[in-house]
Amino acid sequence: MFKILKNSWALFTGYFILMVAHGFQGNLLGVRSVIEEFNFIATGAIMSGYFIGYFSGANSIPKFVGKVGHIRVFAAFASMASLSILLHAVFVNPIVWTLGRFITGFSIVAIFIVMESWLNDRANNRTRGQLLSIYMFITLIGLALGTLLLNFSSPEKYEPFILISLLLSSALIPILLTKRKAPKFKKLGNIDIKGLYKTSPLATFSMFCTGLIHSALFSLGAVYVASMNFTLFEISLVLFIVTISGGIFQWPIGYYSDKTDRRVIIIFSTFAASLFSFMCIVASGTSLENMYLATSVGLDKIMFYIYIALYAGMAVPMFTLNLAYINDYISKEKIRSRRRRNANHIWNGSNGWSFFMLLDNE
């Protein structure tokens, strides 16, 4: 495990910087949408643009990876993501922002594909849960730090957008300077949704539900908290708590999923997340129709922070659990079919995390 991490330090460093920028960008646009008084339909369309681009890239990016390699794809689409954020600074318009989010989603999925195929090429069933948990830990730590950058400058100014572009561009430096060779594969294959469901109905359905829930949590979380009249610092604090808690819980949950039946861990995490989600509503002290927390720090708000941290700790690792679980079954099927190299893609609509699984069954 340590050797894998050591040999991939450049990839992890560049990816970490990129996740800081990515976490900053999504939440910045959510807060700015409230400031600009975009209606809920326009705000939803803007955030959905990311996932439309993400879904489009998920079906086409693997071909680019097969043709030009991991490092070139990472560099090209990180540059495209850096350019797309500047559109938001220049043109404050819901239509342009939706287009920009589409480009961002298309670019980010390419980066996730590079990361996850690289890691899966070096993992096996004994280490996959732990390795992917470390990967998700780095992802969420980067996203968490990105949320704190909301305090860098007023969302109404152009400086935050410039900072995001600088971070995205700087993420290229470590990966372009590395001497380590990226994985190589000769043939690309795929698994359609029907085939995926036959492989593991539980993981497929769970991944679908996780995508629906986390897309709202990570894309509209800033919009929701801003609408509750939280200060800018409190908004960044809530978002930081969500992401950092999800990151901290990654490794222990991934570790126990490697030691026992992953289905048991998936079911336990699901019910625990549901409980803490309900407790967040209770802590708000209001009805479901008019949830509102005053800006003063009181017991209800403190409990809200605690419950949302526990919710994220149980819910966010669900992606890693589903990813590792279905990967176990796909690996066995591919070994039995004696195909030398296969690439399979699963889409999860949470914060735009993909799964590009590379198997080398020789």
User: Which CATH fold would you assign to the domain 2-360?
Assistant: Growth Hormone; Chain: A; (1.20.1250)
What average pLDDT does range 47-73 have in this prediction?
Answer: 82
Instruction: Please list the alpha-helical segments (H only) found in the chain.
Output: 2-7, 9-35, 40-68, 70-90, 94-121, 128-148, 159-170, 172-177, 193-199, 201-227, 232-248, 250-259, 262-284, 299-315, 318-337
User: Cβ(46)–Cβ(97) under 8 Å?
Assistant: yes
Percent share of the chain, pLDDT over 70: 76
Residue 353 pLDDT exceeds 50: no
Eight-class DSSP state of 149 = G
Q: Residue 320, CB half-sphere, CA atoms under 13 Å: how many? A: 34
Distances from the Cα of 27 to the Cα of 161, 230, 240, angstroms: 12, 14, 11
The predicted-structure confidence for 25-34, as pLDDT tens digits, reads as follows 888 888 888 8
Residue linked to tokens 């369309």:
45
User: Cβ(352)–Cβ(161) under 8 Å?
Assistant: no
The predicted-structure confidence for 101-151, as pLDDT tens digits, reads as follows 999 989 888 888 877 777 766 666 666 666 776 777 788 788 888 888 888
The predicted-structure confidence for 170-209, as pLDDT tens digits, reads as follows 888 887 776 666 666 555 556 667 777 777 788 888 888 8
Q: How far apart are alpha carbons 100 and 106 in whole angstroms?
A: 10
- Residue 144's nearest CA partner among 238, 209, 227, 262 is 238
- Residue 291's nearest CA partner among 227, 239, 215 is 227
User: Cβ(80)–Cβ(64) under 8 Å?
Assistant: no
CB atoms within 10 A of CB 224: 16
Question: How does residue 15 score in pLDDT terms, banded at 50, 70 and 90?
Answer: confident
69: phi > 0 → left, psi -120 to 50 → alpha, else beta; which? left
| Angle of the 232-248 helix axis to the 201-227 helix axis, nearest 10 | 160
User: Cβ(94)–Cβ(45) under 8 Å?
Assistant: yes
Q: What is the pTM of this model?
A: 0.68
